[in-house]
Amino acid sequence: DHHERKRKKESREVHERSHKARKMIGLKAKLYHKQRHAEKIQMKKTIKMHEQRKSKQKDDDKTPEGAVPAYLLDREGQSRAKVLSNMIKQKRKEKAGKWEVPLPKVRAQGETEVLKVIRTGKRQKKAWKRMVTKVCFVGDGFTRKPPKYERFIRPMGLRFKKAHVTHPELKATFCLPILGVKKNPSSSLYTTLGVITKGTVIEVNVSELGLVTQGGKVIWGKYAQVTNNPENDGCINAVLLV
Amino acid sequence: MALYNFKKIMVVPTAKDFIDITLSKTQRKTPTVIHKHYQIHRIRHFYMRKVKFTQQNYHDRLSQILTDFPKLDDVHPFYADLMNVLYDKDHFKLALGQINIAKNLIDNVAKDYVRLMKYGDSLYRCKQLKRAALGRMCTILKRQKQSLEYLEQVRQHLSRLPTIDPNTRTLLLCGYPNVGKSSFINKVTRADVEVQPYAFTTKSLFVGHMDYKYLRWQVVDTPGILDHPLEERNTIEMQAITALAHLRAAVLYVMDVSEQCGHALSQQLELFNNIRPLFANKPLIVMANKCDVRKISELSEENQKIFVDLIAEGITVIETSSLTDEGVMQVKAEACDRLLAHRVDTKMKTKKVHDVLNRLHLAVPTKRDQKERPPFIPEGALLRRKAMEMDAPKRKLERDLEVELGDDYTLDLQKYWDLMNPEEKQDKIPEVWEGHNIADYIDPEIMTRLEDLEQEEELREKAGEYVSEEESEDEEMQEIRQLASQIREKRKLKILTSKEKDTQGPRMPRTAKKVERATLEKEMADLGLDMTDKDDSHYALRSRSLVRKRKREVSAPPTSRTRSQSASRPPRDQSGVRDAKMLKKVKTMMKSSQKEMNRQGKKGESDRHVFDVKPKHLHAGKRKSGSTSRR
């Protein structure tokens, strides 16, 4: 009687589910409701899809691009003017040396945020040393200065060598080694130190991707901009600048 | 060994369930309250604990899965091969390998994030790091979804495999599909394998157990094998081949003489020759089954020749029929004997045998004279043995009767009753007779019991148990009896008198009334006391002084009273004192106990009054030399 029981169990399941949904409280209930909500959305979508099949829809492809309704026919001249002004703006930006990056504006990080004061000395009075509290990158051949003289301490636990770089067009993410920090938007000091915060432009080794220039040379380094807060997430996520 | 504990493998949860369980466990079992203003090391520790706890849980559970599942290299090759056939060894190993990798990855993630958390300087940062760590661990596990599902299915199937012990005595049945292997096993053991007319009814190995010569034997039923080369065999047939290859058992190759299975005898012979190499080193018996339909002697010449050839090669061929039970016992006996002999032989060849043999010694008693002393076998045992050998039923069984009569058969147990008058066997038993319920009296041994009881009674009477003796009471007892009867009489009289009394007003207790001297003396005299000369007894004086008190002469204390009192009661400082020496000692004790109190000016021993609670000379002034820790 396995099939009988299975059938009955499945039909009972509906009642049990609704009973559970009504009676649960607390954190479990929140998670359960969220899950159920997602399920219901899916169900509604499939139902809608089934319904669409039966009804008739407006076909967007039939209207050609640039087709304008009758009352807008007079204003053609405007579009050309817009194009020209855009070109001028672009040229101005290029002269200023502003690049087009995915995150044009980021929050500036103050020194107290990035560098922590380390007290030294017999009576812990001297405060000339600083420790970096954000994720940083040091090169391959990096050796520390003698501890007595080093002013900026970059702890080993916060040194990262790899970044998860996303190609914006391919929508694929690769784990690529970092070559260096190009520019930190908050301060040039951070750039020299190699501090990586949100919005920093870093150079990554893209030989893995196998990109080739027009001339036939293999591209092995490209710029990428960091898109997350690495000190909060424990990893560096960046977007490749193509 | 994980060999026979396939049923004890822990359930492998699905990826989603696994993540849910672990995360909710983390939430329940670690502290949940944390505030921004706590010290940073406390915040760090709080979040690090959560990360480590989750990692620990995942690690434990995954390790358990890895150890529970049998390692194909560690189990008996029979099981290893069987599992390969059923579950594909590569897939199995890959799945377990993936789980192992996931476990290592989770450990690494936890390590990294705990290291990062040491640099967290705010609650928000530590919290984000914890969130990232847990999220990463869960993603790693989400990727293992397929492996976990596969392993769960393997576990379910594994737990349902029959427990075949590869090392004990086993009989293995093989042959074409539908030749009668499952019917044979159903006959010989208690197994209940499905028997159907279509081929491949048995799809996997089945085990049955039977007893022979006081030993336990396994009988393994395999699915039928068709005749094609090894590479082309499907999973079901491969199971049979695996069993053949690895189990050291006696092989019973079953052939269908009547060709009802759909394959000619020549085909069956072909198959036999093809799998011959698998029978090496195993005692082999060919069963010519379904002989109730067609006997070997009824076969055609060439088919008969096949069997003759087989016999010529030295292979035992036995005709059997699962339906009529013909030859089944013979096959069983033959196979078991041969297997036992084979096993003993192999054991003899190993080196270990000599250890045992060297220790065994058969001692035979030496003959002391020429008298023959054969073993003594009682007659009953001899007869029984003969009956067993003849193998004929001693009496007509009920079963045979049933078969004979068919539909007319009724079970009639009354014919076996042992009555004095055999013609009464079929009579109906009444329920009530002469007003008595017969059921109450039914006792098979009632006559013997009655006789026993009567005998006992006689004995008792002879012994004189029932003669009641008059006890010779001594004088004391008689007096006591007389007194008791007197008391009872008096009591009754008193009750009667009190009932007759006319009570006026509230009933006062007996002690409230005064007792007249005269009544007291009279009562006591009645009881037998001597009350003649009682003038200076205490109750006589008392009554007199009480009377005096009533007259109320306040001015002068009634001298008689004091005198009487002092006469009746000794003064306190003289009571209990035996002589003058003791009196002196008592007086000094009294005085010395009062000395201290008098010195302190106390009124008595309960006087606790303090005249000066805080004397000035102790609480005023500077603290000078000496200890200054108290005042």
Distance between B320 CA and the closest CA of chain A, angstroms: 37
Q: Which of B119, B123, B138, B140 to mutate to test the interface with A (most CBs of A within 10 A)?
A: B119
Report CB contact under 8 Å: B116, A116: no
Chain A residues touching residue B27 (CB < 8 angstroms): 27
d(CA B72, CA B84): 9
* Nearest residue in chain A measured CA to CA from B124: A232
| 3-state DSSP assignment of residue A45 | helix
* DSSP string over B214-241: TEEEEEEE-----SS-GGG--HHHHHHH
* Nearest residue in chain A measured CA to CA from B16: A35
**Among the listed residues A136, A144, A111, the one whose alpha carbon sits nearest the alpha carbon of residue A202:** A136
pLDDT at B394 over 80: no
Distance between A191 CA and the closest CA of chain B, angstroms: 21
Is the Cα torsion angle B161, B163, B167, B171 positive or negative in sign? negative
Q: What is the mean pLDDT of residues B267-285?
A: 84
Other Cβ atoms less than 10 A from the Cβ of B597: the count is 13
Is A161 within 8 Å of chain B by CB?
Answer: no
* Chain CA centroid to CA B565, Å: 83
Chain A residues touching residue B121 (CB < 8 angstroms): 116, 133
Distance between B187 CA and the closest CA of chain A, angstroms: 28
Is A156 within 8 Å of chain B by CB?
Answer: no
User: What's the pLDDT tens digit per position in A123-159?
Assistant: 999 999 999 999 999 999 999 999 899 999 999 999 9
Tell me, what's the pLDDT at B471? 63
Report CB contact under 8 Å: B125, A231: yes
d(CA A118, CA A98): 37
Residue B305 has phi, psi (to 5 degrees) of: -60, -35
d(CA B414, CA B402): 16
Tell me, what's the pLDDT at A194? 95
Report CB contact under 8 Å: B116, A158: yes
Domain positions in chain B are 15-160, 170-349
Chain A residues touching residue B129 (CB < 8 angstroms): 232-234
Tell me, what's the pLDDT at B625? 62
Of B24, B112, B121, the CB nearest to A234: B112
pLDDT at B366 over 90: no
* Nearest residue in chain B measured CA to CA from A115: B121
Q: Tabulate helix, strand, coil % of chain B (nearest 5).
A: 55, 5, 40
For chains A and B, what is the number of CB pairs under 8 angstroms?
Answer: 33
What pLDDT band is residue B1 in, cutting at 50, 70 and 90?
A: very low
Residue B453 token pair: 């009881």
Q: What is the mean pLDDT of residues A79-99?
A: 74
* Nearest residue in chain B measured CA to CA from A133: B119
* DSSP string over B47-96: HHHHHHHHHHHHHHHHHHHHHHSPPTTTS-HHHHHHHHHHH-HHHHHHHH
ipTM of the complex: 0.79
Chain A residues touching residue B118 (CB < 8 angstroms): 157
Residue B496 token pair: 């009667």
Chain A residues touching residue B108 (CB < 8 angstroms): none
Q: Which amino acid is at B110?
A: A
Residue B412 has phi, psi (to 5 degrees) of: -120, 90
d(CA B271, CA A222): 69
Residue pair B291/B326 in contact (Cβ under 8 Å)? The answer is: yes
pLDDT at B560 over 60: no
Sheet holding B250-256, edge to edge: B206-212, B215-221, B170-175, B250-256, B284-289, B316-319
* Nearest residue in chain A measured CA to CA from B127: A232
Tell me, what's the pLDDT at B113? 96
Tell me, what's the pLDDT at B101? 96
Of A31, A158, A233, the CB nearest to B128: A233
Tell me, what's the pLDDT at A122? 92
Tell me, what's the pLDDT at B23? 94
**Among the listed residues B327, B268, B271, B266, the one whose alpha carbon sits nearest the alpha carbon of residue B300:** B266
User: What's the pLDDT tens digit per position in B182-222?
Assistant: 888 888 888 888 888 887 888 888 888 888 888 888 888 88
d(CA B400, CA B405): 9
Distance between A90 CA and the closest CA of chain B, angstroms: 39
* Cα distances (angstroms) measured from residue B225 to each of B278, B293, B321: 13, 23, 21
Q: Which amino acid is at B374?
A: P
**Percent over 70 (pLDDT), chain B:** 92
Q: Do strands A237-240 and A162-167 pair parallel, antiparallel, or not at all (unpaired)?
A: parallel
Chain B residues touching residue A234 (CB < 8 angstroms): 112-113, 116, 129, 132-133
* Cα distances (angstroms) measured from residue B531 to each of B493, B523, B525, B545: 24, 10, 6, 21
User: What's the pLDDT tens digit per position in B291-332?
Assistant: 888 777 777 888 888 888 888 888 888 888 888 887 888 888
Is the Cα torsion angle A17, A18, A23, A26 positive or negative in sign? positive
Instruction: Report which DSSP code applies to B30.
Output: S
Directed axis angle between helix B235-246 and helix B77-87, to 10°? 170
Q: What is the mean pLDDT of residues B413-417?
A: 83
**Among the listed residues B250, B227, B240, the one whose alpha carbon sits nearest the alpha carbon of residue B174:** B240
* Nearest residue in chain B measured CA to CA from A28: B24
Tell me, what's the pLDDT at B507? 79
What pLDDT band is residue A112 in, cutting at 50, 70 and 90?
A: very high
Chain A residues touching residue B114 (CB < 8 angstroms): none
Residue B173 has phi, psi (to 5 degrees) of: -105, 130
CATH 1.10.10.60 fits B15-160, yes or no: no
**Among the listed residues B186, B314, B165, the one whose alpha carbon sits nearest the alpha carbon of residue B248:** B165
What pLDDT band is residue B112 in, cutting at 50, 70 and 90?
A: very high
Chain B residues touching residue A133 (CB < 8 angstroms): 119, 121
What pLDDT band is residue B530 in, cutting at 50, 70 and 90?
A: confident
Domains, chain A: 2-54 (no CATH), 111-240 (2.40.10.310)
d(CA A198, CA A235): 12
Residue pair B322/B180 in contact (Cβ under 8 Å)? The answer is: yes
Chain B residues touching residue A31 (CB < 8 angstroms): 20
Distance between A135 CA and the closest CA of chain B, angstroms: 10
Chain A residues touching residue B20 (CB < 8 angstroms): 31
Residue B192 token pair: 């209940």
CB within 8 Å of chain B, chain A residues 116-135? 116, 133
Residue B432 has phi, psi (to 5 degrees) of: -130, 140
Instruction: Report which DSSP code applies to B322.
Output: T
Q: What is the mean pLDDT of residues B85-103?
A: 93
**Among the listed residues B255, B262, B226, B263, the one whose alpha carbon sits nearest the alpha carbon of residue B241:** B226
Q: Which of A232, A236, A237 to mutate to test the interface with B (most CBs of B within 10 A)?
A: A232
d(CA A157, CA A179): 19
Of A28, A232, A235, the CB nearest to B125: A232
The verdict on pTM exceeding 0.90 is no
Distance between B113 CA and the closest CA of chain A, angstroms: 7
* Nearest residue in chain A measured CA to CA from B119: A133
Distance between B122 CA and the closest CA of chain A, angstroms: 10
Q: What is the mean pLDDT of residues B459-488?
A: 84
* Structure-model confidence comparison of residues A70 and B556, the more confident one: A70
* Structure-model confidence comparison of residues B365 and B65, the more confident one: B65
**Percent over 90 (pLDDT), chain A:** 63
Q: What is the mean pLDDT of chain B?
A: 84
Tell me, what's the pLDDT at B2? 46
Tell me, what's the pLDDT at A125? 92
In sequence order, the 6+-apart residues with CB closer than 8 A to the CB of A242 are A167, A168, A169, A222
Q: Which fold has domain B170-349?
A: Rossmann fold (3.40.50)
Q: Which residues of B touch A (CB under 8 A)?
A: 20, 24, 27, 112-113, 115-116, 118-119, 121, 124-125, 128-129, 132-133
Report CB contact under 8 Å: A234, B24: no
Report CB contact under 8 Å: A234, B116: yes
Is A233 within 8 Å of chain B by CB?
Answer: yes
Distance between B116 CA and the closest CA of chain A, angstroms: 6
Distance between A138 CA and the closest CA of chain B, angstroms: 17
* Structure-model confidence comparison of residues B447 and B43, the more confident one: B43
**Among the listed residues B186, B174, B302, B356, the one whose alpha carbon sits nearest the alpha carbon of residue B250:** B174
Residue pair B185/B170 in contact (Cβ under 8 Å)? The answer is: no
